[in-house]
A and B are shown apart, each in its own frame.
Chain A
Amino acid sequence: MDQIPILMVGDCLLVSIQVDMHDQLALALQDSLMTKIVETGARGVMLDISSLQFVDSFIGRLLNNIASMARVLDAATVVVGMQPAVAITLVELGLTLSGIRTALNVDKGLALIRRIIDGEEQAFDRREG
């Protein structure tokens, strides 16, 4: 089976999803990410989905699961680069991924992870009244 490469940048794991993953591949990614977090003691996980042309409820659930499991392993997750059309569709589908922090691009994502690790930002989505 193909694998999605996981890179290490400082103390963060970086995954760039470039292909349309079939479900097993997606689940395999989740498993290897968790293993990698434990192995490396990474404090952050960044999922770059700027090349992804859709996010359905399966991928949405996967992103949610990765974020919650990583949190248990004391790593902050940030999803970056979601395209406007994908975001519009996801909202219509009924998913807001409210437990996940997001950023516009890799640079901003890394900065956000840094702030979360340093305790300046919450690992959960910020909700304001």
Chain B
Amino acid sequence: MIVEKDETIPVRTSEDVVRVRREVRERAVALGFGLVDQTKLVTAASEIARNTLDYGGGGELRIECLRDGNRRGLRLSFSDRGPGIPDIERAMTDGYTTGGGLGLGLSGAKRLSSDFAIRSSPGQGTVVILARWK
């Protein structure tokens, strides 16, 4: 697997979240993703970017364009140095929220991605990595 393009953008304001959506859409279009795939990626990115901002106190997004043989993919890594998630399994449950949301961000983003990984420990911050292949 080859990383063809690699870029990091900040996630510190709600305007940044809008920019995340725009950048992810542009990359997905450039890689030739279809409209449904684009929309799934952008929506997953929007969910996790908002979490990074609202719960993680801000952080950054690394966008990587991947190639594996003929397959093209996009990998998004969100990281923050916020309070972390004490119980990841619980946080991944549909409907679980500590912030008055719908509790569908993490679980939904996972359903919208081909690969999904989350690393977090209290006090250490959170890293969420998701990828989607064409």
A residues near B, CB below 8 A?
20-24, 53-58, 60-61, 84-86, 88-90, 92-95
Is there an interface contact between A20 and B18, defined as CB atoms closer than 8 Å?
Answer: yes
Max chain A CB contacts within 10 Å: which of B105, B107, B108, B109?
Answer: B108
B69 interface contact, C-beta 8 A: no
CB of B112 closer than 8 Å to a CB of A = yes
Is A53 within 8 A of B108, CB to CB? no
Alpha-carbon gap, A21 to B18, bound state (A): 7
- Complex alpha-carbon distance, A61 and B99, angstroms: 13
* Complex interface: chain A residues within 8 A of B18 (CB): 20-22
Chain A residues near B5: list those with CB within 8 A: none
Q: Contact between A23 and B14 (Cβ–Cβ < 8 Å)?
A: yes
Q: Which residues on the B side are within 8 Å of A23 (C-beta)? A: 14, 17, 50
Known: A54-B21, A54-B46. A92 touches B108 (CB 8 A): yes
Q: Determine whether the beta carbon of A56 is less than 8 Å from that of B46.
A: yes
Could you list some 24 contacts between A and B, CB below 8 A? A20-B21, A22-B14, A22-B17, A22-B18, A23-B14, A24-B14, A53-B42, A54-B21, A54-B46, A56-B47, A56-B50, A57-B105, A60-B102, A61-B101, A84-B36, A85-B36, A88-B39, A89-B39, A89-B112, A92-B40, A93-B108, A93-B109, A93-B111, A95-B108
Residues of chain B within 8 A (CB-CB) of A86 are 39
State A4–B14 Cα separation when bound (angstroms): 17
Q: How far is the CA of A23 from the CA of B112 in the complex (A)?
A: 21
Interface size class of B (residues with CB under 8 A): 20 to 34
CA distance A22 to B15 in the complex (A): 6
Q: Which residues of chain A are near B105, meaning CB under 8 Å?
A: 56-57
* B108 and A94 contact, CB distance less than 8 A: yes
Q: Determine whether the beta carbon of A88 is less than 8 Å from that of B36.
A: yes
Write out the residue numbers on chain A whose beta carbons fall within 8 Å of the beta carbon of B104: 57, 60, 93-95
Given contacts A94-B104, A94-B108, contact A53 B17 (CB under 8 A): no
